Chains A and B, each alone.
Chain A
Amino acid sequence: MSRILGVLGLLTVLYAALILSNPSAGRLDNLMDVANIQGRYGLITIGAALVIIVGGIDLSIGSVCGCAAVLFGVLMERGVPPAAAVALTLAFGLTVGLINGLLITQLRLQSFLVTLCGMFIYRGVARLLAGTVSRTRAVEQHPEFVESLQQLRYLLIGKDATGELLFPAQFFLLLVTAVLVGFVLHRTAYGRYWYAIGYNDQAARYAGVAVERHRVIVYVLCSLLAAAAGVLLLLDMPSVQSDSGGLGLELYAILGAVLGGCSLRGGEGTAPGMVLGAMVLPVLENLVSFRGLKSDVIPAVIGLTLLVGTMLDEWIRRRTHPRG
């Protein structure tokens, strides 16, 4: 509970600063824009957080997201209908997760190394698939997709044909996912097992938990969410470049998870915390741009704020758990 309070406080401060920084920053359309980005970040944050809860790490999230976006585009350019392309892209994510999970559990490789390799591999695969993918090009080549693609865009992003954001669909998507994940995490045996694995996988094994199987499930969920974020990326943006799409997202996701109360030692984290943790970064970016700062300062500001956030979080943690 106290861990959520920390990130809640940080968010409140950031939103207050954002609204006070510029009259137009507090307007609904801007807040919706921010929420939309928060939704996409949130999905990968949840994935990263689940992996962190079972005591692992996934560094391939950003590359998987980028690769999925490119794959989605390439499939449509080759004439695969949008809905089927979404399904195939998600299947790609599932496969990646399965490979990660099996390498980590069966060959007992370290998750850091396996997913670090994945980070390079899937970035490379994306660049082999295409340099740039864009929705306009897909539609030019296959005009029959116009309608279904627009429906998909309206449903998942909340943007109409003119590109105006009507409602923050990605944020709603995040909330739905968070509720589902929260249910699994906090109300089912699966969630308990994941926490137990993160705290002490040996004890979990001795208690009869199928540790390996559950680890694989979690890596699959993580990569699946990363691929879903890739689909959303291409639906939201006019185009995605294979060498920069989703670049660095894994670190944003991990930071969001940690801000939201996950401990890198494993075994800790809550679904509401993940959502709140993921909301920080987009507000911060928006704030920086409204302050009229050069975009060059964004990384430094993000790093500093997150450092302050983690310090605050650690301070709260020590006060509530003197022995921890």
Chain B
Amino acid sequence: MSGVPRLEVIGIRKQFPGVLALDGVSLRVAPGEVLAVVGENGAGKSTLMKIIAGLYQPDAGEIRLDGRSVRLPTPAAAMAAGISLIHQELNLAENLSVRDNVFLGREMTRGGWLRWLDGAAMRRQAALLLQQVGLTPDRLFWRVEHLSPGEKQLVEIARALSLQVRVLIMDEPTSSLSHKETERLYEVIAAVRRAGVSVLYISHRLAEVQRCADRVVVLRDGRLAGELCGTQITHDNMVRLMVGRDLKQYYPRQHRSGRGGPVVLRLEQFRYQGGPDQPASLEVRAGEVLGMAGLVGAGRTELAEAVFGVRPWRDGQVWLDHRPLRIRHPRQAIAAGMVLVPEDRRRHGLVLDASVGFNLSLPNLRLLSRWYGISRRQERRWQQHWIERLRIRTPSPEQLVALLSGGNQQKVVYGKWLAGRPRVLILDEPTRGVDVGAKAEIYALIDELAGQGAAIWMITSDMEELLGMADRVVVMHEGRIVGELDREHLSEEAVMHLATGGRTPPAGDRHPATLPRWRPDGQADAAG
């Protein structure tokens, strides 16, 4: 790299109680360069970005901007220096208009101390900014809450541009964006870098990194694990540096396509209130991982939630082990042996403000209760057992679950269900926000559970995960199950074709009309 780097970070160290989050990390970004920072959860990426954005103070180290050493005691100081962080959870005032958000805290005013808002000037400038990020001017006076996640992101970028941004930090910018919105984001990134803005891009999605980064630095356990440029930026190289080992057995699944045991869960013309009019039929066999693909918004999560009893039932039938079930509340689903690992771990999967042990125990308290109540000692021993069994990395069961990494939080969600020996596991995005190492462990666990005869219904938007883990795949599109693919016909193209509403499935696909018919003895007839 020639010339003075736009941003240079030298020997940053940050200690949190109990963890050394960053241990002497250095990196530099040239003007107009896109530098991706990757690493497992807990590797220190977010901490580093927060230090650069002035949210945290480093214990040691230096930050230089255009060659000059700077101190960034507050986010305001960082912003004044031209550093903007666009956080995964967007920081917009939902109830204000797009224009007001762009200028929030720095409103243009007239009339001296009277601070009259100069609406016209703000509108003119905001319109210009929106144009730069590819938002139509008619959005100017929309309330932010009415925008799509992608548009909100663009508003954040417009806000950063209005601050004369020199370094734009994007933390998982695409996590809630649709495919189209992601494309638009890439265009905006390309535009801002042409203007000389340096971009720090943090993402779990390595395919995206591959696409838009000039250079990649990999963090592992708070240290720099390596750096890749140009053609070196490959998926395998990044994963190797992230986990520090080759992932030979990343997907442990021994596929048993077309076989599997008897049908465990069966939906027959199932509909739920607020759901699509088209009923859904589906079956999951013992020992099978049924993958469910579809675009975001295809209604997969909603269907799973309805089956689990979170959404109210309308008509149709659910059979579990040949017994008809009428589930009105998750309690009944759980009692019948069906559990859900929900998509939104932080809202639905865990009681985030409580301890690891509390969360593990919560659905198993009946098991832990004696006539004299819950024995703390016995409970703790039980919790310890599951922590070890799932290799949850936590100092103790008393640790707050919010303080664990995403991967370990997800393991707690699995842990709380396993004690009940479920017959059916509905896994909704089973490894979302989970680092590579924990992912491999979760895949091994899913494989093990299937091996023990559990029926697994896995909803995923991660194509690799789908191809690597599923024995059979059903695809949803606009609330309907539009097709089924067995192992032999499973390919990324075939899934995308169905998921995007392709009318004629590629040869060999089976349509729901030709699904194997189900007989009361639980054996599929010859068609299956």
CA distance A209 to B329 in the complex (A): 9
Q: Specify which chain B residues have a CB less than 8 angstroms from the CB of A188 in the assembled complex.
A: 365, 369, 373-374
- Whether A209 contacts B362 by the Cβ 8 Å rule is yes
Q: Specify which chain A residues have a CB less than 8 angstroms from the CB of B349 in the assembled complex.
A: 203, 206
- Whether A183 contacts B373 by the Cβ 8 Å rule is yes
- Whether B354 contacts A189 by the Cβ 8 Å rule is no
- Whether A200 contacts B353 by the Cβ 8 Å rule is yes
* Minimal beta-carbon separation of B21 from chain A (angstroms): 14
Contact A323 to B403, CB < 8 A, known contacts A206-B310, A207-B330, A210-B329: yes
Pick the residue among B347, B366, B368, B416 that contacts A207 (CB under 8 A): B416
* Minimal beta-carbon separation of B310 from chain A (angstroms): 7
CA distance A205 to B308 in the complex (A): 11
Whether, in the assembled complex, B334 has its beta carbon less than 8 Å from a beta carbon of chain A, the answer is: yes
Pick the residue among B310, B335, B403 that contacts A205 (CB under 8 A): B310
Closest to A197 in B: B351
CA distance A187 to B375 in the complex (A): 7
CA distance A209 to B309 in the complex (A): 12
Question: Which residues from 187 to 210 on chain A have a C-beta closer than 8 Å to any C-beta of chain B?
Answer: 187-189, 192-193, 195-196, 199-200, 202-210
Interface mask (B294-333 → A, CB under 8 Å = 1, otherwise 0): 0000000000000010100000000000000000011101
* Size class of the B contact interface (CB-based, 8 Å): 20 to 34
Whether, in the assembled complex, B358 has its beta carbon less than 8 Å from a beta carbon of chain A, the answer is: yes
Q: Specify which chain A residues have a CB less than 8 angstroms from the CB of B400 in the assembled complex.
A: 323
CA distance A209 to B403 in the complex (A): 24
CA distance A204 to B361 in the complex (A): 12
CA distance A188 to B371 in the complex (A): 10
- Whether B331 contacts A203 by the Cβ 8 Å rule is no
Size of A's binding interface in residues, CB under 8 A: 22
Whether, in the assembled complex, B342 has its beta carbon less than 8 Å from a beta carbon of chain A, the answer is: yes
Q: Specify which chain A residues have a CB less than 8 angstroms from the CB of B167 in the assembled complex.
A: none
- Whether B353 contacts A207 by the Cβ 8 Å rule is no
- Whether A189 contacts B347 by the Cβ 8 Å rule is no
Contact A207 to B363, CB < 8 A, known contacts A199-B353, A200-B353, A323-B403: yes
Q: Specify which chain A residues have a CB less than 8 angstroms from the CB of B342 in the assembled complex.
A: 206
Whether, in the assembled complex, A267 has its beta carbon less than 8 Å from a beta carbon of chain B, the answer is: yes
Whether, in the assembled complex, B350 has its beta carbon less than 8 Å from a beta carbon of chain A, the answer is: yes
- Whether A192 contacts B365 by the Cβ 8 Å rule is yes
- Whether A192 contacts B361 by the Cβ 8 Å rule is yes
Question: Which residues from 376 to 410 on chain B have a C-beta closer than 8 Å to any C-beta of chain A?
Answer: 400, 402-403
Q: Which of A183, A196, A202, A208 has the most C-beta atoms of chain B within 10 angstroms of its own C-beta?
A: A208
* Minimal beta-carbon separation of A220 from chain B (angstroms): 20
Q: Specify which chain A residues have a CB less than 8 angstroms from the CB of B362 in the assembled complex.
A: 192-193, 196, 204, 207, 209
Closest to B329 in A: A210
- Whether B331 contacts A195 by the Cβ 8 Å rule is no
Interface mask (B341-364 → A, CB under 8 Å = 1, otherwise 0): 010000111111110001001110
- Whether A203 contacts B373 by the Cβ 8 Å rule is no
CA distance A293 to B310 in the complex (A): 58
Q: Specify which chain A residues have a CB less than 8 angstroms from the CB of B17 in the assembled complex.
A: 322
Q: Specify which chain B residues have a CB less than 8 angstroms from the CB of A204 in the assembled complex.
A: 351, 362
* Minimal beta-carbon separation of B412 from chain A (angstroms): 11
* Minimal beta-carbon separation of A186 from chain B (angstroms): 8
CA distance A196 to B365 in the complex (A): 12
Residues of B at under 8 Å CB distance from A? 17, 308, 310, 329-331, 333-335, 340, 342, 347-354, 358, 361-363, 365-366, 368-369, 372-374, 400, 402-403, 416
Q: Beyond the given A189-B368, A204-B351, could you list 13 further A-B residue pairs with CB under 8 A, ordered by the A residue number?
A: A187-B372, A187-B374, A192-B361, A203-B352, A205-B330, A206-B310, A206-B348, A206-B349, A207-B330, A207-B363, A208-B331, A209-B362, A267-B354
Closest 7 interchain pairs by CB?
A187-B373, A189-B365, A208-B334, A208-B331, A206-B348, A207-B363, A199-B351
Q: List 29 A-B contacts (CB under 8 A).
A: A183-B373, A187-B372, A188-B373, A189-B365, A189-B369, A192-B361, A192-B362, A193-B365, A195-B354, A199-B351, A199-B352, A199-B353, A200-B347, A200-B350, A200-B352, A202-B347, A203-B350, A203-B351, A204-B362, A205-B310, A206-B330, A206-B340, A206-B342, A207-B363, A207-B416, A208-B331, A210-B329, A267-B353, A323-B402
